[in-house]
Structure 1
Amino acid sequence: MKKPLAEFIGTFTLVLFGCGSAVIAGADIGLTGISFAFGLALIGMAYGIGGVSGCHINPAVTLGVVASGRMSAGEAIPYMVAQVLGAIAAAVVLLVIASGKAGYDVASMGLGQNGWGAGYLGEYTMAAAFIFEVVATFLFVVVILGATGAGAPTAMAGLAIGLTLVVIHLVGINVTGVSVNPARSIGPALFAGAHALSQLWLFILAPIIGGVAAGLLFKSGLLDADAE
């Protein structure tokens, strides 16, 4: 149970502090601050639980690791269950905290959920949202698999991965709020209302496609330093 517990705690931390930065402090820190909140939360967890579970804290990453051949499907299932449960638990805690402020209303003010279209941040189209999430997740998982592979300077892996997440958020917050992580999207959407739930499919499907594609690229040997 050590690895699923680590994944639960890691995903809980990412969602609480990442989404929390948007919900509680977004007006003060802006998009740059929110971007760094997600990245720094990931860096902290990478060094905190990386030695236990590898700090996937993201079903798309776990499926990418499976596709790369570094993990079995049986090992992945407890990881992904723990990740989703951690995200849901974080969303509950965030909702309780945010509700402690007079005037907060989750229906109108949200819970850091992802989205697209009219009324959502930059009002990008569904096609733009889908393409961004696939490509951003693909690149994110490429960095993760490369930074944690044989021959890589693993002591720097957490920093490289976390800073990549910062850059992804700097570019993509206005497009989708940035998911690249189905668990991160599921947690807030469950409490943010019917519209968020109706768009949730994209933030499950697109990151999975991107993550698996990155894993298959490493499995092919084209980017794997161990491959002949």
Structure 2
Amino acid sequence: MKKKIFGEVFGTALLVFFGPALVVMGGYNDLLGPSIGWGVSLAVLVYAFGPLSGAHFNPAVTLMMFLTKQMKAAEAVVYVIAQLVGGLIGGLFLTLTYKAYLKGAGLSWSTEVAKNNLNGTVFPNISAGMAFLVEVVLTTVLLVVILVLNNEKTKSYNLQAPIAVGLTIAILVFAAGNLTGASMNPVRSLYPALFAGGLPMQDLWVYLTAPFVGSIVGALIDRFIMND
């Protein structure tokens, strides 16, 4: 279990740091760079920590694994706690490094974070209901890909699975990043919002609930389609 906890803590910490950091410190003006960056980051992390913990890094993935009877309740709880701890570590390191970056560049934390929200996920152009639906659909797509890659009847590309997951993330971020930020992960949204404050905190409930609905939909697909 120690290896699994380490994998989830360290992997989630790196995910919460790398993803927002490449956006707020990368100077991107479009979605191409962030989508590729998020996709590549996740693929690398899955390759690195998959052998240790299965590389969930996401409570929605863990819930789906529990609902599909691929892990027990006690283990799922440990995974979620590890992800929350890892996300906190990643969020703290993101905040510290970004403050140092801004100080060196002679820029103000409050001014810059008001612009980029520390890459917190927001949806300024659509309603909360539509944002919720988008996040449910995005999470469901991601989880179905994971289900197919892990299903005994369909998995045949084990070595390429991290690349497939990374490409899925890249496509989903590119497609919906301007709508909701394409979170698909409560932990990924939680800590940038907590450290940035302001706009990302206002509708944080969307990102803390929609992915879990996607988990339930994914479990139903697994039950009635994948294992029929």
- Tell me, yes or no, if the aligned pair for 1:35 and 1:167 is still in contact at 8 Å: yes
- Tell me, yes or no, if the aligned pair for 2:11 and 2:45 is still in contact at 8 Å: yes
2:218 corresponds to which of 210, 214, 217? 214
Report the Cα offset of residue 99 of structure 1: 1.0
Q: Which stretch of the first structure deviates more once superposed, 145-154 or 184-193? A: 145-154
Superposition TM-score, scaled by structure 2 size: 0.90
Q: Distance in 2 between matches of 1:157 and 1:105?
A: 39
Structure 1 runs (4+) greater than 3 angstroms displaced: none
Q: Which stretch of the first structure deviates more once superposed, 136-145 or 5-14? A: 5-14
- Tell me, yes or no, if the aligned pair for 2:121 and 2:181 is still in contact at 8 Å: yes
Q: Which ranges in structure 2 are unaligned for 5 or more consecutive residues? A: none
Instruction: Name the amino acid aligned to 1:8.
Output: V
Structure 1 pair 183–48 and aligned structure 2 pair: CA distance change class (3 A):
same
Instruction: Name the amino acid aligned to 2:50.
Output: G
Report the Cα offset of residue 197 of structure 1: 2.1
Deviations 1:133-162 (A, max 9, x none): 000000100001111221412111111111
1:174 aligns with 2:175: no
Q: Percent identity?
A: 33
* 1:71 aligned counterpart, secondary structure: coil
- Aligned partner of 1:87 in structure 2 is 87
Q: Distance in 1 between matches of 2:172 and 2:108?
A: 28
Q: Distance in 2 between matches of 1:13 and 1:215?
A: 27
Alignment of 1:57-206 (within 5 A): 57-100=57-100, 101=102, 102-106=106-110, 107-109=113-115, 110-117=117-124, 123-150=125-152, 151-152=154-155, 153-206=157-210
- Aligned partner of 1:55 in structure 2 is 55
Deviations 1:171-194 (A, max 9, x none): 111011111000101111111114
Instruction: Name the amino acid aligned to 2:94.
Output: L
Report the Cα offset of residue 50 of structure 1: 0.6
Deviations 1:24-64 (A, max 9, x none): 11336x31110111111110111111111110110011111
Deviations 1:70-91 (A, max 9, x none): 1112110111111122112111
How many pairs align? 218
Instruction: Name the amino acid aligned to 2:201.
Output: L
- Tell me, yes or no, if the aligned pair for 1:140 and 1:164 is still in contact at 8 Å: yes
Q: Distance in 1 between matches of 2:167 and 2:108?
A: 31
